Structure 1
Amino acid sequence: MTTNESAASYLETVLHHDIPLTRDMGMKVIAWENHQLRLHLPLAQNINHKSTLFGGSLYCGAVLAGWGWLYLRLKEAGIEDGHIVIQDGQISYPLPVKRDGVAICEAPDDATWEKFVKLYQRRGRARLALNTRIVAEGSDDSAVEFVGQYVLHK
């Protein structure tokens, strides 16, 4: 993986192969830039009875944005011997998503990341909290806010 574009394409292939639900959801990896991951969640494949994005699809998108962020960041760090699992997740839905959604996972601060990596290297297991938000395409307002506790273990 040498470019951000190839990293995004690679992650989309991994998601569609390893988690087939992502294909059915129409999920696409939009971008991996400056340690920020963006996933696209189309309304058409994830619509509910209120003509908005289904809450379960939003939850799945939020979880996978964090999972994908950690997956790519570990690859960049040369750590390929671990398994990522979601341990816990807290979500809120302040606004309905009436258009396609974009799940955005930002990097934690550098000190948190470095502590996570050192703990994993020392103990073979570490936990990291990642924040994801989902916005309606074309908006900056958070329609979904998610905090996931991800565990990396050997």
Structure 2
Amino acid sequence: MREIGKPHPRLPLAAPGEEDDPARFLAWLGEAIPLVEQLGIREMRRDGECLMWELDLSPSLNDKGTGFGGALTAQTTLLGWCWTTLWLRRRGLARDVVVAEASQRFLAPVTGDYRLECTPEEEGGPARLVDQLAEKGRGRILLRQRLWCGETLCLEARGNYAVLAERRVENGLQSGT
């Protein structure tokens, strides 16, 4: 059981040249963030720079029988966090990621199971993040999430995700570098 105020241990990085196993990452994520088990994520996959989730609607129903905006917002925010975390992990970096800013625009009701996709907002975003990490040890990336119910775009979200400076441990105390 998770303890308030105590960070969950990080998932060990995959061996060099290997990628994270999506099922293993989702299992760890469910331990690290207990809410994840209630989100209805059936599958996670990556296609180039796009990270996708397939989700069941039933855990996120509202009183009208469609998708609850708060649940959908939490999912888009978390998907962006996963995109950034997995992007870092593919580069051998285990770093803390936080959402700095997020916005959503609801376009149509979510009436069935759906797909969430997350991609960089700008083509050069990942390269800029590489440069920021090299220069300052921290950085930000703008991501866009889209929720599709069949062929209908139901929600567009945007998030600004911050990669925090690496922490070092001195005399048992953590400090930012």
Q: Distance in 2 between matches of 1:121 and 1:64?
A: 25
TM-score (normalised: structure 1): 0.88
State how 1:62-77 maps to structure 2 within 5 Å.
Answer: 62-77=76-91
Q: What does the per-residue CA deviation read over 1:61-100, in whole Å, with 9 as the maximum and x for residues that have no partner? A: 11111111111111111222x2100011010001000001
Q: Structure 2: where are the runs of 5+ without partners?
A: 1-13, 166-177
Contact 1:11 1:72 in 2 (8 A): no
What secondary structure is seen at the aligned counterpart in 2 of 1:106?
Answer: strand
1:147 counterpart = 2:158: yes
Among all aligned residue pairs of Structure 1 and Structure 2, give the percentage whose two residues are the same amino acid.
Answer: 24
Give the Cα–Cα distance (whole angstroms) in 2 for the partners of residues 52 and 63 of structure 1: 19
Larger Rg belongs to:
2
> For 2:111, what is the secondary structure of its paired residue?
coil
8 A Cα contact 1:7 1:72, kept in partner:
no
Aligned positions of 1:49-88 closer than 5 A: 49-80=63-94, 82-88=95-101
The answer on 1:44 being equivalent to 2:55 is no
What is the CA–CA distance in structure 1 between the aligned matches of 2:64 and 2:124, rounded to whole Å? 42
Question: Take 1:103 and 1:39, find their aligned partners in 2: how far apart are those partners?
Answer: 5
> Aligned partners of 2:76 and 2:36: how far apart in 1?
12
Asked whether the equivalents of residues 12 and 28 of structure 1 are also in contact (C-alpha less than 8 Å), the reply is no
The superposition leaves residues 100-136 of structure 1 with CA deviations (integer Å, 9 ceiling, x where unpaired) of 1211112455532111112122212211100000111
Which residues of 2 match residues 1-154 of structure 1 at below 5 A? 1=14, 2=18, 7-80=21-94, 82-109=95-122, 111-136=124-149, 139-154=150-165
| Inter-partner Cα distance in structure 2 for 1:71 and 1:28 | 19
C-alpha contact (below 8 Å) 1:11/1:68 kept by paired residues: no
Q: CA RMSD in A?
A: 1.7
Superposition TM-score, scaled by structure 2 size: 0.77
d(CA) in 1 for partners of 2:43, 2:161: 20
Give distance in 2, aligned partners of 1:122 and 1:85: 19
- Deviations along 1:5-55, one digit per CA (max 9) or x if unpaired, are x53223212321111101022223331221211113311111111100110
Runs of 4+ with deviation above 4 angstroms: none
Measured at CA, do residues 67 and 29 of structure 1 come closer, stay the same or move farther in structure 2, by a change above 3 Å?
Answer: farther
Larger helix fraction of residues? 1
